[in-house]
Each structure stands twice: as structure tokens, then as C-alpha cells.
Amino acid sequence: MTNIAFIGLGNMGGPMAANLIKSGHKVIAFDLVAASRNQAESDGAAIAESAVGSVKGADVVITMLPAGKHVLSVWDEVISSMSKGALIIDCSTIDVESAKKAHALAAKHGIASVDAPVSGGTGGAKGATLTFMCGGEDKAFAAAKPILEKMGKKIVHCGGAGAGQAAKICNNMILGISMIAVSEAFALAEKLGLSHQALFDVASTSSGQCWSLTSYCPVPGPVPTSPANNDYKPGFASALMVKDLTLAQDAAKAAGAATPLGKHAQEIYKAFDAEGNGGVDFSGIIRHVRGLR
Ligand code: NAD
């Protein structure tokens, strides 16, 4: 049994903390929101009065927060209260620069650290089937892996500090672009009088095959579990897709990489959000694509 402090008990962090408890770890949890603290308490967590209170005596500290500024502020607040030899893991999706700063802060205090953003959404958080993409030193990753395995099914060491975040935003840039590509193909097929099922049957077994088509099809019917069959309820909200595509653009700018399709995809999802669709699943982008002239 490991003593784990869990800070940030939202849509993802809440069920992730619950899975650590189910697997036999002792979790002391904190969130700014009382309802999230209460839910964690009913899942079996001990509740701390503050972030600092949660980390005292913990072997491992996990943060699952909205953005880089929250992570840097919480790590700054708690790091000097952590035990010597403890490990800190951030599972939030944040910008690469903030992730590197967070690692540097931990190193300054002699604390091992890992950036470990996730893929798999709230379903993966509940079912403990997340994929973790990790950045950090070998020793820190080796210590984090058995803990992450209680919340996920695939744990990948991508490289040094910030490499997990880099992998996450590159993956989600592929996802954002490919969902628009699949949506454009269905919108064109509709105009050409081709049925959804016919296009699916061909493309899913041909060179157009991709996850956005075969696992998350943006039209109802061919993949019964996709959000298209549930009025595009998330799933993965398009506001989060805008967030991730913006992180990708920031990273591309900082690194001097050309990502014109990533930039265009960011603009398309931003326009969709501006039409009041931030809470709609990102595959609902097909509605916007159909309206483009
Ligand atoms: P959320 O908004 O539901 O949860 C964030 C939680 O952090 C909230 O409960 C909030 O009260 C808490 N918080 C904020 N500042 C805090 C502080 N200073 N101290 C303590 N608690 C604080 O967000 P989420 O959907 O759980 O996402 C968390 C992270 O995971 C984000 O970075 C997101 O991009 C990423 N992510 C989300 C999904 C998804 O499908 N929701 C999928 C993959 C990755």
C-alpha cells in the first residue's frame, strides 16, 4: 500500500483517485470544489483541508488540474512540504514549457517528477483503461509505473521532462485533423448520394481507415458506441479539442515546426465553439463542416 495525495478531483481525477483506492492504496485527496471532495470521500478517500495538507507524509503526489498555470501554482505551493524521496506526477494536459518548469521546480527541491498526461477520456478514467504518456528520468518513471497501472492499461515512457506532454499534443493534433477529414468525406458522400454505411464499409477496410472513422464515427449508425448516436454528448468536448490544438500550435511556434493543417483544424474547432458548441463532443464538428461553403 502506498500513501497517495491526489489533487484535482474533477471529471478525470475523481474516478482516477477512486481506482487507486479500489486497488488498495490509501488516498488523501483535495479539490477546491466541495462537491468533488464529498464524492471522493464517499469513494473512500481521506479528505485534506488544503493541497499542502494532502501531501504531508505522502509517498506519491498526483495532480489532475485544468492547465499549466494551475499545475505550476499547486506544485509551487506543495513541493517544499513533500517528504524527501517522494515522487510527484502530473496527469493534466498542459503546455510543454510549463511541464518543463514544473520538473525543474521539483528537481530544485530534490523531488522526482513525471509528466503523465492521459488519453481515453472519462470512460477510460472510470474503467482504469487510460493510456499514460510519460516524461521524466528513468528512475522516476520506474517508480510511477506501478501506480499508473492501477488507473490505465498502457503506460509509455516517451523521454525526458515534458516528453509526455509533447506526445499528447502531437497525438491530439492527428485526432483533431483526422476527425475533420472523416467529416468532410461523409459530408461529400451525402451530396453525392452515397449512404453512410456504404462509405464506412469501403473506407474502414481501405486506405481511408483511421480511429476517427472506425472507433468514433461522426455519423450515427456504423459505430453504435460513437457519440454521434447520442446527439454528440461528450465523450471529448470540443472545448478540450480547442485547448489541445492551441497547445500544439504554441509548441509548434516555440519549436519552429510547420503545422498548417493543425492550425486550420484549430480555427475550425474554434469557429464551432463560437457557435455555442464548446460542450458538444468534438465529432459534432461534422455539423459545422456540412454548413461550410
Ligand atoms: P475538470 O475541470 O473536471 O477538473 C479539474 C479539477 O481541478 C476541478 O475539480 C477543479 O476544482 C480542480 N482544481 C483547479 N484548481 C485547483 C487547485 N488549485 N487546487 C485543487 N483543485 C483544483 O477537468 P477534467 O476533465 O478532470 O480534466 C483534467 C485535465 O485532464 C485537464 O488538463 C484536461 O485537459 C485533461 N484531460 C481531460 C479529458 C476529458 O475527457 N475530460 C481527457 C484527457 C485529458
CA-nearest residue, atom 4 of ligand 1: 10
The residue out of 130, 160, 190 marking a domain boundary is 160
Same domain, 11 and 47: yes
Picking from 71, 264, 77, the residue whose alpha carbon sits closest to that of residue 162 is 71
Same domain, 34 and 108: yes
Same domain, 16 and 145: yes
Same domain, 153 and 27: yes
Choose one of 6, 7, 9, 11 to mutate for the ligand 1 pocket test, by most ligand atoms within 8 angstroms of C-beta: 11
Cα–Cα distance between 209 and 97 in angstroms, integer? 34
Q: How far is the CA of 49 from the centre of ligand 1 (A)?
A: 19
Choose one of 6, 12, 282 to mutate for the ligand 1 pocket test, by most ligand atoms within 8 angstroms of C-beta: 12
Could you list the pLDDT tens digit for every one of the 293 residues in the chain?
899 999 999 999 999 999 999 999 999 999 999 999 999 999 999 999 999 999 999 999 999 999 999 999 999 999 999 999 999 999 999 999 999 999 999 999 999 999 999 998 888 999 999 999 999 999 999 999 999 999 999 999 999 999 999 999 999 999 999 999 999 999 999 999 999 999 999 999 999 999 999 999 999 999 999 999 999 998 899 999 999 999 999 999 999 999 999 999 999 999 999 999 999 999 999 999 999 87
The residue out of 112, 144, 160 marking a domain boundary is 160
Q: How far is the CA of 211 from the centre of ligand 1 (A)?
A: 25
CA 36 to ligand 1: nearest atom: 9
Cα–Cα distance between 5 and 104 in angstroms, integer? 20
CA 119 to ligand 1: nearest atom: 43
Question: What's the pLDDT score for residue 235?
Answer: 84
Q: Total domain count for the chain? A: 2
Complex-level ipTM: 0.99
Same domain, 117 and 51: yes
CATH number, domain of 225, equals: 1.10.1040.10
Choose one of 64, 77, 89 to mutate for the ligand 1 pocket test, by most ligand atoms within 8 angstroms of C-beta: 64
**Domain membership of residue 183 as a residue range:** 166-291
Amino acid letter, residue 164: G
Q: How far is the CA of 54 from the centre of ligand 1 (A)?
A: 17
Same domain, 119 and 190: no
Same domain, 54 and 134: yes
pTM over 0.90: yes
Same domain, 149 and 173: no
Q: How far is the CA of 63 from the centre of ligand 1 (A)?
A: 9
| One-letter-per-residue 3-state SS of the chain | CCEEEEECCCCCHHHHHHHHHHCCCEEEEECCCHHHHHHHHHCCCEECCCHHHHHCCCCEEEECCCCHHHHHHHHHHHHHHCCCCCEEEECCCCCHHHHHHHHHHHHHCCCEEEECCEECHHHHHHHCCEEEEEECCHHHHHHHHHHHCCCEEEEEEEECCCHHHHHHHHHHHHHHHHHHHHHHHHHHHHHCCCCHHHHHHHHCCCCCCCHHHHCCCCCCCCCCCCHHHHCCCCCCEHHHHHHHHHHHHHHHHHHCCCCHHHHHHHHHHHHHHHHHHCCCEHHHHHHHHHHCC
Same domain, 90 and 206: no
Cα–Cα distance between 64 and 11 in angstroms, integer? 10
Kindly name the residue from 168, 191, 233, 270 that is annotated as catalytic: 168
Same domain, 28 and 148: yes
270 catalytically annotated: no
Question: What's the pLDDT score for residue 121?
Answer: 86
Same domain, 174 and 86: no
Same domain, 49 and 110: yes
Whether 95 and 68 have beta carbons less than 8 Å apart is answered as yes
Question: What's the pLDDT score for residue 1?
Answer: 87
- Pocket residues: Cβ below 6 A from ligand 1: 7-13, 30-33, 36, 51, 64-66, 70, 74, 92-93, 118, 121-122, 236, 240, 243
Question: What's the pLDDT score for residue 13?
Answer: 98
CATH number, domain of 20, equals: 3.40.50.720
The residue out of 160, 186, 207 marking a domain boundary is 160
Q: How far is the CA of 85 from the centre of ligand 1 (A)?
A: 26
